[in-house]
């Protein structure tokens, strides 16, 4: 009889606090699969390892592979708090072994939420609920970050299944009279009529981003992403169509980028040196005389100088007059141009659904990581499928090892 007297995962005084930590690094490559046979990762075979399953290292963080769960609004919060639903959602995603997860856009102020049911991190009371989500992801050895946002003129909206057009009235938790933007220009005829922010209000919002970043670190997140895309506040400041100000935050390129650069610099200074700071931008406005990818390259160079580690390259959402030529991988060229011309790491996004597409993007140097959003909702096991199709043997969570024998 063999008696085991120690465990890698210790029991807790309160059983409800127990988490079974992984003894391996799920999602990382452990070998190659050639003609149905496993080949260990010796030095010579590492050269043949698909880039999708090579580690991605930034500062003190190592992502096990290069497939990242993109931030997606879940519209499942009250007063900004994450709930048991979020623990199930993000915990479930972490069990699928992506390289990293970006938690949905979380507001830096109550009126910075996108919808009345969006997440927040504007007060210390939010930290505990975020920490629960962080803990479950980390128990599965998955890196987890969070996107912070101010909704600007697109705030006070409704969950998408309630209405994609129209705003939430004050009687159901909206803030119709407290929607702000760089100028008093509404996004469209069904959105709120925004008020133009004063310089004092802008300074308060900048500090709100900084305060939120402090809470992000306290919650234990591995990295942070500043949301400056899709027509929300920081994105609308960048746009010459949404920003008609005549002060230091409007007019020239330098003035329109000022608020994002100030926030990025302050967040980078207070966020731990060992943790990456990313920025998501809309690389192209998709309308005539709007923000272009050339502007994005110029901005990305400035962000790199500040110490930003990666540009998450999306597009659109700034104007309701946009005409987008959407199709598989249609936004990848934005990431490629910024990576090459600004010499900064990028993430490619948008209608990327096949492992072969992910690998081609990485092999051709178009981006450093690939963000998948809806594909993870449609197919949570996409990382495992990618491993099978690309001929890679990856580590599985201990609890899912039973399934691995079915494919190898």
- Which residues are annotated as catalytic? 232
Three-state DSSP at 280 gives strand
Burial label for 347, CB within 10 Å (0-12, 13-18, 19+), is: buried
Distance CA 264, CA 236 (A): 16
Pair 28, 55: CB distance under 8 Å: yes
Longest distance between any two alpha carbons in the chain, whole Å: 81
Q: Are 333 and 301 in contact (CB under 8 A)?
A: no
Coil, helix or strand for 183?
Answer: coil
**Measured between alpha carbons, how far is 300 from 283 in angstroms, rounded to an integer?**
10
**Would you say 71 and 147 are in contact if contact means Cβ atoms under 8 Å apart?**
yes
Nearest-5° angle of CA 293, CA 284, CA 367? 60
- CB atoms closer than 10 angstroms to residue 289: 8
Supply the angle between the helices 293-306 and 332-342 in degrees, to the nearest 10. 50
């Amino acid at each position: 009889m063999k008696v085991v007297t120690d465990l890698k995962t210790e029991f807790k005084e309160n059983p409800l606090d127990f988490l079974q930590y992984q003894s391996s690094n799920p999602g990382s490559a452990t070998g190659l699969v050639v003609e149905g046979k496993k080949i260990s990762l010796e030095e010579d075979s590492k050269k043949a390892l698909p880039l999708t399953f090579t580690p991605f290292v930034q500062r003190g963080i190592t992502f096990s592979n290069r497939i990242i769960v993109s931030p997606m609004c879940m519209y499942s919060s009250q007063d900004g708090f994450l709930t048991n639903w979020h623990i199930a959602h993000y915990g479930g995603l972490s069990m699928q072994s992506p390289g990293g997860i970006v938690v949905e856009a979380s507001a830096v102020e109550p009126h910075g939420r996108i919808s009345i049911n969006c997440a927040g991190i504007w007060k210390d009371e939010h930290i505990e609920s975020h920490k629960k989500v962080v803990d479950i992801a980390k128990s599965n050895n998955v890196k987890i970050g969070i996107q912070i946002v101010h909704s600007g003129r697109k705030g006070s909206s409704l969950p998408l299944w309630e209405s994609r057009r129209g705003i939430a009235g004050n009687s159901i938790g909206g803030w119709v009279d407290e929607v702000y933007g760089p100028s008093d220009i509404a996004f469209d005829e069904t959105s709120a009529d925004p008020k133009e922010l004063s310089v004092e209000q802008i300074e308060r919002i900048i500090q709100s981003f900084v305060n939120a970043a402090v809470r992000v670190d306290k919650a234990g997140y591995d990295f942070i992403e500043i949301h400056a895309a899709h027509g929300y506040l920081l994105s609308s400041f960048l746009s010459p169509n949404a920003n008609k100000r005549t002060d230091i935050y409007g007019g020239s390129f330098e003035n329109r980028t000022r608020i994002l650069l100030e926030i990025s610099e302050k967040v980078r200074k207070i966020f731990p040196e060992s943790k990456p700071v990313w920025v998501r931008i809309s690389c192209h406005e998709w309308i005539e005389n709007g923000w272009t990818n050339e502007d994005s390259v110029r901005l990305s160079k400035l962000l790199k100088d500040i110490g930003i580690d990666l540009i998450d390259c999306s597009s659109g959402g700034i104007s309701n007059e946009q005409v987008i030529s959407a199709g598989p991988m249609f936004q990848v060229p934005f990431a490629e141009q910024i990576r090459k011309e600004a010499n900064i790491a990028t993430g490619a996004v948008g209608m990327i659904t096949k492992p072969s597409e992910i690998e081609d993007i990485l092999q051709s140097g178009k981006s450093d990581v690939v963000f998948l959003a809806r594909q993870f909702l449609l197919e949570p096991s996409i990382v495992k499928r990618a491993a099978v199709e690309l001929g890679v043997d990856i580590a599985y969570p201990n609890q899912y090892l039973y399934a691995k024998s079915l494919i190898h």
